[in-house]
Every structure is written in structure tokens, then in C-alpha cells.
Amino acid sequence: MAETAQQAVESEPAETAPAEGDTKTEAGTEHSPEADEGLVQEGDIAGDYLERLLDLLDYDGDIDLDVEGGRAVVSIDGGEDLDKLVGPRGNVLEALQELTRLAVQQETGVRSRLMLDIAGWRADRREELSELGRTTAEQVAEAGEPARLKPMTPFERKVVHDAVAAVKGVTSESEGEEPRRRVVVVPET
Amino acid sequence: MSFLADSLEHLVRGIVEHPDDVRVELITTRRGRTLEVHVHPDDLGKVIGRGGRTATALRTVMSGIGGRGVRVDVVDTDR
């Protein structure tokens, strides 16, 4: 939040909010079984928090808990009502994920990196963004000119960074401040 | 409308130190409807969040579930 103008263009590891998962390497971070136990507990707390919300709203939804890539993953699938919890461009989903993380932190005392998905929105979006990252990377590799993508959420940027990383001869970074932070794909020097 | 107040109360209770002190009231005036969130003074910072981030998240969720046009105000119970 204290990001200043001269920090606006920086490489990913210096990201001011590392907990948001904007670095290229963290999907593969190692974790021990004990860490997994903590993540299972995170999922349980999150599941209770969200289940009660669905009850109060009278929405149909099944909550699925998982641990994936070193973080707790909570997925809700069910009726059409759930689209309201996704919102335009997933903004309600992001807000609900934020609150769920806080609810988990309130009980465990530890900051949570839990991921919430509703109605498969993230899964669909991930596919789209991977494709965008891959094609942009290929164009940049060929043309030798950087490409600036439109502003995205930390989740969206992470997916694009991962897709770019799989293409040779290009690299990517984020620039600008939230909520206008965006991915720039640049040819490797 | 009470599902809005109930949902908001639940969302706030989960993220504070003193859940029993959380109370949400729906207030209707000529200028529109407001959900007033009352919390323990020590929890005020938590509910507002860094740079108002948590309060914004609460508003975003409320607008998603049908509370568009309903204000969300966080109030200190001491007042």
C-alpha cells in the first residue's frame, strides 16, 4: 500500500504484497506434512465460515476442501445463485476470499493464503489467461518488443506470469499500483 | 431485507476479536438504506482494514448479494 512511484516498476520478487501470490516461483514451494495439517485446519475454518453464509443466503452449494501447491483450496459449486458470489470479473469472489482469509487468520493467528473458487470461475479464467500469457509471450519473443497487458488482479497476474515463464526468450514483471497493476512481457536480454 | 443484515453480521463476526459485540442494523431514511455495523472499539481497525480494504470487501460482497444501493457504515459502539 505504501508503494511509491519509483517502486512502480520492479521485478516480481520485490512485490510489496508477497502473500497475494504474485511471484513466479511460489506455486512450487515445498511443504511438510505438518504444514499440510495447518492447511487442512484452514480449510475447515473457511468451510464453516462460508457454509453459514450460504445458509443465511439460502443458496445451494457444496463446499469442497483441498490442499494444493502449499495452500488450502476451498471450492463452492452449486446453483445459479452462486454467480452473485462471483460478481463482475470475479470482484465479489476476490472480496469474499479476502474476508475468508481474515476469518481463518482470526482463529489460527497466522496469515492465510487460502484460495477460494466459486462455480469454477477461477478454473475457467485460468485457462483463458494461460492462453493469453502464452500467445503474448510468443508474439514478444518474435517481435522483440515488450507488451503491456490490461490491469489484472494478483491471481490473474500470477497465472499470466506462469504461462509466460514457460516460453523461451521472454520474461515478465508487474508494474503500476493496485488496482491498475498490470503484467508487462519483455524480451530477455 | 433482513438476510442482508444477518449475512453482514456473520461475515463481520468471523473476523473480529469480540464477535458477541457485533450488531448490524438496517436503517431506512428518506435518503436510502444503510446497514450500520456496530463493533467493539478494539475491533474497529480490523473491520475497516488497511486503507479501508476490509470495509471495501464487506461492501463488495453486500452489493453482490443484492444490497446494491445499500450503504455499509462501520460504527464505534462507544458512541
pLDDT value at B71 more than 60? yes
pLDDT in tens, A121-167: 998 999 999 999 999 999 999 999 999 999 998 889 999 999 999 99
B66/A84 CB distance under 8 A: yes
* E strand residue ranges, A42-168: 61-68, 71-78, 115-118, 147-148
Sort out which chain A residues have CB atoms less than 8 A from B16's CB and list them: 106
* Complex ipTM: 0.94
What is the pTM (predicted TM-score) of this model? 0.77
Q: How many CB pairs under 8 A join A and B?
A: 61
Q: Which residues of chain B neighbour A96 with C-beta distances below 8 Å?
A: 57, 61
Rounded Cα gap, residues B74 and B58, in angstroms:
10
Task: State the average pLDDT over residues B27-51.
Answer: 93
Per-residue pLDDT of chain A (189 residues; tens, 9 = 90+): 443 443 333 333 433 344 444 444 444 445 567 778 899 999 999 999 999 999 999 999 999 999 988 999 999 999 899 999 999 989 999 999 999 999 999 999 999 999 999 999 998 999 999 999 999 999 999 999 999 999 998 889 999 999 999 999 999 999 999 889 999 999 997
Q: Are A56 and B6 in contact (CB under 8 A)?
A: yes
Cβ neighbours of residue A134 closer than 8 Å, sequence gap 6 or more: A163, A164, A166, A167
